[in-house]
Amino acid sequence: MPFAVRHPSLNPRAADALLVDFSRYLHQVQGDALVEVDLGEVDFIPPYGLIVLCLMGRYARTMCPRVVYRLPRSPLLRRYLGRVRFAGAMAGFVELAGPEPAAERERPDSEALLELTRIEERVDVERVLLHIGQRVEAILAEELHYTPVEINQFKNVVAELCHNILDHSMNWGYVTAQRYQDPRTRRKYAVIGVGDLGIGIKKSLAQRFEAEQWTHGQAILNSLRKHFSRDPARGLGLYIVNRICQHYDGSLQIKSGDTRVYLRGRRHYEHCSVFFPGTLLSISLCQRSPGSRHSLPTGATLVRQ
């Protein structure tokens, strides 16, 4: 029987519930049975949701020989999945059924700042940064009113999160970025999604700290502390990412193990979910007021040469 996704919008809260339901479904699937996921009712998938769908498919593929995703019925969403190269991200793990999204040529007005990109080796990070330099910088400057220094900070965040996958997950993952406009305030913002199927934050930090008794929520919060990393030579990664989110009036969501932590400003909220391997992040960075100048977080240079 197909697993039907009943959430029309795969925001982080709905994605948590989706992972709970999908985990139950997988435990009922018999050995060589087909895993079939019906996305028919879905009509909106932000970056976090895209990453969740990619990792769900890969995870299911480790347990079953065949995984099929039935694509959404919404023509608009199918075209969007074409623009973000969903089929390419799923290639080798998940078959797509239904009217397949055509890989559309990039359009200047496309909401996709960065298509779904596999991060498997260093050259993939370099390719992502090159893409940002060729196309995304102009959008960030013209629409979100970012200065050249602030655009570099956007690149820093993307690069650091991609390097974290390669350095800490012992696996590989995905990155994507989209732009949106709040229909109420008309304020524009960019959202970055990153995720992997690796060892997770708690297990990564346990290689340097006595983390066995920590909850996954505690491990996530500790990873945001200054100089609190598996690698003593670094340790400013997620700390600076969080500072940059605060600087742009944005937010940060991190899921690892069985917990998702949502951070906005100096507040944080923990949401319990089902255990899922790896780490998932969603970062939002809001539009600047034209002409605004704010001091950047100290020590925020992260991009490696």
232-244 tens-digit pLDDT: 555 457 888 888 8
- Residue range 70-99: mean pLDDT, rounded: 93
Q: Which residue has the tokens 């623009």?
A: 83
Q: What letter does residue 186 receive in the DSSP assignment?
A: -
Q: What is the pLDDT of residues 160-169, one digit of tens each?
A: 889 889 988 8
Assigned architecture for domain 1-100: 2-Layer Sandwich (3.30)
List the domain boundaries for the chain: 1-100, 110-292
Q: What is the pLDDT of residues 22-54, one digit of tens each?
A: 999 998 887 778 999 999 999 999 999 999 999
Q: Does the 110-292 domain belong in CATH 1.25.40.10?
A: no
Residue type, 212: E
Does the CA dihedral 113-223-51-103 come out positive or negative? positive
Q: Which has more confidence, 291 or 130?
A: 130
Q: Is the pLDDT of residue 103 over 70?
A: no
pLDDT, residue 289, reads 73
**Which H or E run includes 194?**
strand 188-196
Report which of 216, 273, 215, 284 is spatially closest to residue 52, judged by C-alpha positions. 273
Angstrom distance (rounded) from CA 150 to CA 157: 11
Q: Is the pLDDT of residue 99 over 80?
A: no
Q: What is the pLDDT of residues 168-224, one digit of tens each?
A: 888 999 999 999 998 998 889 999 999 999 999 999 888 888 888 999 999 999 999
Per-residue burial over 76-94, b if 16 or more Cβ lie within 10 Å, else e, is: ebbebbbbbbbbebbeebb
Q: Which residue has the tokens 């991200």?
A: 89
| pTM greater than 0.75 | yes
Max Cα–Cα distance, the chain, nearest Å: 60
* Percent with pLDDT over 70 in the chain: 88
Average pLDDT taken over every residue of the chain: 87
Angstrom distance (rounded) from CA 125 to CA 158: 9
Q: Which residues contact 235 (CB under 8 A, 6 or more apart)?
A: 226, 227, 228, 229
Q: What is the pLDDT of residues 244-282, one digit of tens each?
A: 888 888 999 999 999 999 999 889 999 999 999 999 999
Strands 188-196 and 267-286: antiparallel
Q: Is the pLDDT of residue 13 over 80?
A: yes
